[in-house]
């Protein structure tokens, strides 16, 4: 798959805007980097992280060796690979790839996604599985498990806002049917799409607020409030609105990739997912070259050290597809 994508890039890359391509690549590499940096301290409080590390700035060992990514990156790659191969977002193909990943005994899979995938693995139609988990667990179904993987939708459809909103919601429905999860994915990708196109922060936020004016009022309130919050006021749980707010806050307040991601991780909580989502935005904002090489060199999935190469190849292919719109 990776080789075929790379072969298809030869003529397309030359035609792309070089800066925009770096934004696309920075987005997916940013997901993996934030995920890997945050994974070892997932669930730790700010005080615990401070006591052990002072300020955690480097990738360290946790449940897995330093640099290992988790389900955040792997699900993002499943979605990116599906779109890159088919040219469009296809829910059935995306679920098929998620199921293949699930069968590899994945590390870090969230409870909600686990419950859906268990049912699908037993032969249940994925739509029925999602509905059943939603009915069984509501209202406690607004986790960040679909937000963390949704960035490939923005990469593919940054020039088609109607498709972007529609597919962002559909990508959440692969596992998370809760309206807040759907709205959060749509809002995040609306912002991310503008960042990929080089818009400034104020215009990107204003655009998303206008396009999604009828989204859940909780999201719009959170976005307006986060603009003026300090780090100590930022929530960091696995609740989808907490992760959305944390990622947008880091992007709004920082212009340096490393400082933004270090800050998010050291806030504690759901550190890998919060940093992965923030990493997507910051990587798009700052570009691939802004992501520290010392971090990129350590990233892996178990024994696979080609994760960054995969991110770059897939981002390049998605940029090529977006440019054709």
Structure tokens at 131: 């509905």
Question: Is 205 a residue whose pLDDT tops 50?
Answer: yes
* Alpha carbons 187 and 169: distance in angstroms, whole number: 10
Could you report the per-residue pLDDT of 251-260, keeping only the tens digit for each? 999 999 999 9
Question: Is 325 a residue whose pLDDT tops 90?
Answer: no
What is this structure's pTM?
0.94
pLDDT of res. 8: 41
Structure tokens at 5: 């994508």
Could you report the per-residue pLDDT of 148-180, keeping only the tens digit for each? 999 999 999 999 999 999 999 999 999 999 999
Rounded to whole angstroms, what are the CA distances from 265 to 88, 180, 244, 268, 273?
33, 24, 14, 6, 9
Structure tokens at 78: 């499943």
Rounded to whole angstroms, what are the CA distances from 89 to 79, 126, 129, 130?
8, 16, 20, 18
Q: How far apart are the first and last CA of the chain?
A: 23
* Alpha carbons 65 and 275: distance in angstroms, whole number: 18
Question: Is 11 a residue whose pLDDT tops 80?
Answer: no
Say what percent of the chain tops pLDDT 90. 92
Nearest to 142 by CA among 185, 113, 180, 183: 180
* Alpha carbons 38 and 272: distance in angstroms, whole number: 4
Question: Is 98 a residue whose pLDDT tops 50?
Answer: yes
- All residues at 6 or more sequence positions from 293 whose CB lies less than 8 Å from its CB, including other chains: none
pLDDT tier at 217, thresholds 50, 70, 90: very high
Local structure of residue 290 (DSSP, 8 states): G
Task: Tally the domains of the chain.
Answer: 1
Torsions phi, psi for 54 (to 5 deg): 75, -100
* Alpha carbons 116 and 124: distance in angstroms, whole number: 9
| SS3 state of residue 68 | strand
pLDDT of res. 5: 38
Q: DSSP characters for 299-311?
A: -BBTTB--HHHHH
- Residue 242 sits in which domain range? 2-324
Biggest alpha carbon distance in the chain? 51
Q: Name the more confident of 237 and 2.
A: 237
Torsions phi, psi for 142 (to 5 deg): -100, 55
pLDDT of res. 1: 44
Q: What is the CATH number of the domain that holds 166?
A: 1.10.4080.10
Mean pLDDT of 271-289: 98
Nearest to 281 by CA among 226, 210, 214: 226
Are the CB atoms for 89 and 167 separated by under 8 Å? yes
Mean pLDDT, rounded, of the chain = 94
Could you report the per-residue pLDDT of 106-123, keeping only the tens digit for each? 888 999 999 999 999 999
pLDDT of res. 16: 63
Could you report the per-residue pLDDT of 12-50, keeping only the tens digit for each? 444 469 999 999 999 999 999 999 999 999 999 999 999
Question: Is 6 a residue whose pLDDT tops 90?
Answer: no
pLDDT of res. 109: 92
Question: Is 7 a residue whose pLDDT tops 70?
Answer: no
* Alpha carbons 9 and 3: distance in angstroms, whole number: 10
Nearest to 211 by CA among 183, 172, 241, 239: 183
Question: Is 195 a residue whose pLDDT tops 90?
Answer: yes
């Amino acid at each position: 798959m990776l080789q075929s994508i790379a072969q298809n890039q030869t003529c397309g890359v030359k035609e792309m805007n070089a800066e925009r391509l770096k934004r696309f690549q920075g987005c997916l590499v940013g997901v993996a980097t934030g995920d890997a940096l945050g994974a070892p301290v997932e669930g730790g409080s700010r005080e615990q992280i401070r006591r052990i590390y002072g300020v955690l700035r480097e990738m360290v060992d946790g449940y897995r060796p330093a640099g290992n990514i988790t389900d955040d990156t792997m699900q993002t790659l499943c979605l990116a690979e599906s779109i890159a191969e088919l040219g469009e977002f296809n829910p059935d193909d995306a679920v098929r790839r998620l199921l293949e990943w699930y069968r590899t005994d994945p590390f870090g899979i969230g409870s909600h996604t686990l419950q859906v995938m268990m049912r699908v693995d037993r032969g249940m139609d994925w739509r029925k599985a999602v509905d059943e988990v939603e009915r069984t667990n509501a209202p406690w179904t607004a986790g960040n498990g679909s937000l963390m993987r949704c960035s490939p939708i923005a990469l593919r459809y940054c020039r088609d806002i109607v498709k972007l909103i529609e597919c962002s919601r559909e990508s959440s429905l692969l596992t998370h049917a809760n309206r807040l999860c759907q709205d959060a994915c749509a809002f995040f990708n609306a912002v991310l799409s503008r960042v990929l196109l080089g818009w400034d922060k104020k215009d990107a936020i204003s655009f998303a607020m206008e396009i999604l004016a009828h989204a859940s009022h909780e999201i719009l309130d959170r976005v307006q409030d986060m603009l003026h919050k300090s780090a100590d006021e930022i929530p960091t749980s696995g609740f989808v609105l907490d992760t959305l707010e944390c990622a947008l806050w880091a992007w709004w307040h920082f212009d340096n990739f490393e400082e933004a991601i270090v800050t998010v991780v050291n806030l504690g909580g759901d550190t890998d997912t919060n940093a992965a989502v923030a990493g997507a935005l910051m990587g798009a904002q700052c570009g691939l070259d802004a992501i520290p090489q010392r971090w990129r060199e350590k990233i892996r999935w178990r024994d696979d050290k080609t994760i960054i190469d995969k991110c770059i190849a897939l981002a390049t292919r998605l940029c090529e597809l977006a440019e054709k719109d």
